[in-house]
Structure 1
């Protein structure tokens, strides 16, 4: 990766370091490679599996904002949620009809989360040197590396794209992407193969809100972020490549201009942080600088460390002619991830 691209990536890391104060080091490997048609960039994050109760305890101890307090106070003692398309659905194997998963099995006891998110919560060493994510940019597009003077027509905002992919590494991911993919690729599989990520604890639908539980379903019903058991709709979420709206679940709803974690980018578009981006990562464990105070620096933040360029593998799909996809993470069944030693 050349100097101007590397410098732009460092600026993207500094953007995040300027809004969160956690004293952790996030180690990222970056590079260019040929990606799937229409895919601008993608992130493949190292993930770990943690007990739900440990996560809740860590999140409670990590509260630094009123939003943190609201989010934690509305988490249930037992993990239960709506899901569908599993082999053990009471509505029949692979049924699209949502059901309440509250049987206390493995996926009601454990969460999957990115290693960077785990660092922020003290669930692993803040200075662990392993790679937290591999971020790959397509070599098929032209990029603008200096967003402060506008984005040149026909090019893409490299710093904004890097900010987006770093956001996935920090924890803006959804386990519904895995359910959405595998339900139709060799599935259905048992429910214990599919774990919620921390952000999924705040993923709701009208139906799940009526039950006071999160919505972990692969379907096209509207999903949204809520910190109070679904009573208040904050921001709309994408609903899935295969059974939803055509966009990965690990993103905001497309074409609403919600924030840098939107699923697509257009040539000439300046990609900006939104309040929603910061709120989402705040409530999963990152400590945010006050929204009413200075966001110019983050004392004590070790920031983003970039290392050698390597390719990544992830599942993405073709994009429309004028909007180009931003990818989240590799889709692996839990059993395969556990065999590989994560957790």
Structure 2
């Protein structure tokens, strides 16, 4: 089996709190705890979960934008978690990031040309006339025009700015791109264009993606595998198709059940699971989801389940009751009115014409 592009083992990131300079820190926020996964060439692993579950912290720790507390991150077999700064900078050519806010991640005082030239010059990829030609090709590749190179970020729409960010990310031909909510700040119509662009680029260049998102409809479209996080830990990891068809962990089932339906009035999302989530300052000895889980027992409250493969297959789950299924209950779908039925037919025809 070939070596994965990215191998993560026991990744942990804790943030110390309070105490002051003389007293020292007494508490830590357990943002990410013992996270392990791998991503192959040309593969997309999506990380999903509620806000505050540790998705973005995980993505930043992968690239050492945040220093991990412990664990290892290997890119093409080389552990980057302990590299000195000069080695890390050289390796950054092979690992890039696309951020959620395209406007905030672009320097407003730099033109698009200057923004795209920067990584080319920093990593000695191209200089002089060749560097400017590369900038023009990058813009065309992401759906913009060469004349856009001399404009500033405020002169573009949100979707165009994200295309510029993607062009910057692929300029070094990286092996890995971490995408942190790359379409959540965009209009729905633009989201589809950006997702399709990212898939085309991945197919052409063979890059691995770690795709962080809370939008399950986008994840279902782009991901090969999905890792579900809850309070800093992965509770389920599975191929995307099987995870959406038959989610095993009660939290995964609750997420899918609570997701909004694409057609208003046809089906509505059910209520999220009841109960309070524990504090990240004190998760306790048991399963962090036990207080909200319909399958919880005394074992769940006293002993934290370790994530493990189910029946030796590709699905991993951290649950003492992996052989059971929490119920997924949707409100009954009402009979669509003639107007809604006609609208659904138009939408179906539009989808068919796009494919």
Q: For the superposition of Structure 1 and Structure 2, which TM-score range results when normalised by the shorter chain?
A: under 0.3
Q: Which one has more relative contact order, counting CA pairs under 8 Å at least 6 apart?
A: 1
After TM superposition, the score normalised by the length of structure 2 is: 0.26
Q: Which has the higher helix share?
A: 2
After TM superposition, the score normalised by the length of structure 1 is: 0.27
- Structure whose alpha-carbon radius of gyration is higher: 2
